[in-house]
Chains A and B, each alone.
Chain A
């Protein structure tokens, strides 16, 4: 039997941790780095490179290097988010079957869970190299505000990677777990989690070994990447004004500018001013033109002020839903790379009237929390007990266009709710139920989860059959639907069509495929024993 790890599968970076001799630690990769880029680069010879070394290929192999795939996971092709990603990505995003998203690289289409699986496999390898043992189980984290489809797709990614996904837990919850581990706290804490692509705020009450999420709110399309995009646009616009050339129209130049912008952003956390120099970024008839600009922290701060303000709107919402004010909070924890920026820290401090907890590494804390949860589940010790909630309401479509809410947001999970359905005409053998997640009272404005079909209903006069349908949200935040005949107690078959998702057969097929491929190209073997 293999070991269990905790994996933070981030938009821009990922990290793997384990509890070793009762102490949770993050594990370094082949380059000794505790954090790996969530990037997969597909090479010409059919091999692929994952992690920090893949990130270095983003310029030379721009069209075949996939990054920020998490922004696409569990999304439908026609969603606004996918359109937005399409506009800024250097790789091709195409439509797959059933409104799904596919990534086209070197003439092959990959599903998004498959790309996530590649990153997860790399994290698995890193842990195996460190432990000298097989790793076959993991707790994987997701943004608290991920919906059912996004959670399911992440879990599918784990399965494809050959991992038994013990549990999907929320990133801010994992961070709270890491913060409170072994401290016996009795506190109310706020987790401000600004990642590469998503923002979450969770408010928890910790009672020694129990971690109760009081409320959570988030924006699944707001993160550090948006800060980069602002810088890219600023430099590109300025360049255009001066030279009448659009850097964004040239994939390789855009990739160079993207890397430089990200670097400049990080430098502005340390320095008050930074210079961005890209020699010969654009070719013209008269020869190459350089991009050479300096930017200072204040100016950058103004550029992203509205993005930071947007996070506080979400914080207001979470506090309000928890019937709390900032004065009720005992501690503030910052999570995610972008919270290292002094501008973000300053703004957050002003909002919460509180200094953030200093002992927490914003980039490692989530994976450490996941490792603690993995240990709790597998080692049968009374570790930390999570009492999490569902981030959005679950409901079904009704004839008048309204959503009939079955489970409200911020309901503790696991939870369930039942409804009795019947037929509307004689001898009807099937009933369709459309399920949605979201807060709008009209179902059309919410996210469709899928359609359930109650089939093989025995012929009877209309209104006679009484089918009790139970909607469950499990500890992973994933929705399960079961049905039974109310009179006979017999289980009623339920067929589910999830738009955009992978079928079980597809997942099994991919899992086998990747396993074979892995054995075939098992070229990466760490040679040196890594020390702590």
Chain B
């Protein structure tokens, strides 16, 4: 059986977990190195891993699983070189409370903002048409428009990436 002390600890942690950021969940500070974060993840897993409590009452298992999920979530974000700085900036900003749990959509929106839509009007136009074609799932048209955009600006990484994506989709469609 689980000790009473530990049960009490789990109960109080369950109550406050929604107010903790990922650093607090893993008990590391914001300057920690990658290895420290991994070490913390392993240490917290040794305490909260639900497999250790598999034979305990379901209510307790549910509580500990909920905590462990947050530990995993915290590690997922803090161990990712792209997600971690983005998350850290948000929780240190004015809307800290809103951003305690990481949202993939926010990061995606941020990356899309950084997209290079071309500098010449013609390249911009072709890229826009390609994007519309993708929306309409007309990948052949998208491919042609992207190729035209690349003709205008051969070094635009956004165009090149998009073209590769479209070619992949066309190839996978052929396989069906």
**In the complex, B75 has a CB within 8 A of chain A:** yes
CB of A65, distance to nearest CB on chain B (Å):
31
**What CA separation (Å) do A231 and B42 show in the bound complex?**
47
> For residues 415 through 456 of chain A, which have their beta carbon under 8 Å from a beta carbon of chain B?
415-417, 440-442, 445
Most A Cβ at <10 Å: residue of B38, B42, B173: B42
The one of A323, A382, A412, A475 that contacts B76, using a Cβ cutoff of 8 Å: A412
The one of A209, A377, A400 that contacts B46, using a Cβ cutoff of 8 Å: A209
CB-CB nearest in chain B for A393: B104
**Chain B positions within 8 Å of A416 at CB level:** 69
CB-CB nearest in chain A for B81: A323
**In the complex, A385 has a CB within 8 A of chain B:** yes
Q: A411 contacts B76, CB within 8 Å?
A: yes
Could you say which of B21-29, B50-58, B113-121, B151-159 contacts chain A? B50-58
**In the complex, B169 has a CB within 8 A of chain A:** yes
Given known contacts A80-B176, A210-B45, A415-B73, A376 and B104 CB-to-CB distance under 8 angstroms: no
**Chain B positions within 8 Å of A209 at CB level:** 46
The one of B50, B75, B81 that contacts A412, using a Cβ cutoff of 8 Å: B75
Q: A207 contacts B104, CB within 8 Å?
A: no
Write the B33-51 contact mask toward A (1 if CB under 8 angstroms, else 0).
0000010011001100111
**What CA separation (Å) do A376 and B49 show in the bound complex?**
12
**Chain A positions within 8 Å of B72 at CB level:** 387, 411-415
**In the complex, A378 has a CB within 8 A of chain B:** yes
> For residues 93 through 122 of chain B, which have their beta carbon under 8 Å from a beta carbon of chain A?
104-105
**Chain A positions within 8 Å of B172 at CB level:** 440, 445
Chain A contact surface mostly = mixed
Given known contacts A377-B54, A442-B169, A415 and B42 CB-to-CB distance under 8 angstroms: no
**What CA separation (Å) do A415 and B72 show in the bound complex?**
7
Q: B50 contacts A414, CB within 8 Å?
A: yes
Write the B122-163 contact mask toward A (1 if CB under 8 angstroms, else 0).
000000000000010100000000000000000000000000
The one of B104, B137, B175 that contacts A406, using a Cβ cutoff of 8 Å: B104
Q: B42 contacts A212, CB within 8 Å?
A: yes
> For residues 199 through 242 of chain A, which have their beta carbon under 8 Å from a beta carbon of chain B?
205, 207, 209-210, 212
The one of A207, A378, A401, A414 that contacts B42, using a Cβ cutoff of 8 Å: A207
CB of B158, distance to nearest CB on chain A (Å):
15
Given known contacts A406-B104, A414-B65, A414-B69, A385 and B76 CB-to-CB distance under 8 angstroms: no
CB-CB nearest in chain A for B135: A400
Q: B165 contacts A441, CB within 8 Å?
A: yes
Interface residues on B, range: 20 to 34
Q: A440 contacts B169, CB within 8 Å?
A: yes
CB-CB nearest in chain B for A383: B51
Interface residues on A, range: 35 or more
Write the A303-330 contact mask toward B (1 if CB under 8 angstroms, else 0).
0000000000000000000010000000
Q: A378 contacts B51, CB within 8 Å?
A: no
Given known contacts A385-B49, A400-B135, A380 and B55 CB-to-CB distance under 8 angstroms: yes
CB-CB nearest in chain B for A323: B81
**What CA separation (Å) do A318 and B80 show in the bound complex?**
16
**Chain B positions within 8 Å of A210 at CB level:** 42, 45-46
The one of A205, A386, A401 that contacts B137, using a Cβ cutoff of 8 Å: A401
> For residues 361 through 396 of chain A, which have their beta carbon under 8 Å from a beta carbon of chain B?
376-378, 380, 382-383, 385-387
**Chain A positions within 8 Å of B104 at CB level:** 405-406, 408, 417
Q: A415 contacts B51, CB within 8 Å?
A: no
Most A Cβ at <10 Å: residue of B49, B50, B65, B135: B49
List 19 interface pairs A-B (beta carbons < 8 Å), by A numbering: A80-B175, A210-B42, A377-B55, A383-B51, A385-B45, A385-B52, A387-B49, A387-B72, A400-B135, A404-B105, A411-B72, A412-B75, A412-B76, A413-B72, A415-B69, A415-B73, A416-B69, A441-B165, A475-B51
Extra inter-chain contacts (20) besides given A385-B46, A445-B173, CB under 8 Å: A80-B175, A80-B176, A212-B38, A376-B54, A378-B54, A378-B55, A380-B52, A383-B51, A385-B45, A385-B51, A385-B52, A387-B72, A405-B104, A414-B50, A415-B72, A415-B73, A417-B104, A440-B172, A475-B50, A475-B51
Residues of B within 8 A of A (CB): 38, 41-42, 45-46, 49-52, 54-55, 65, 68-69, 72-73, 75-76, 81, 104-105, 135, 137, 165, 169, 172-173, 175-176
Closest 5 CB pairs of A and B: A412-B72, A377-B54, A385-B49, A210-B42, A207-B42
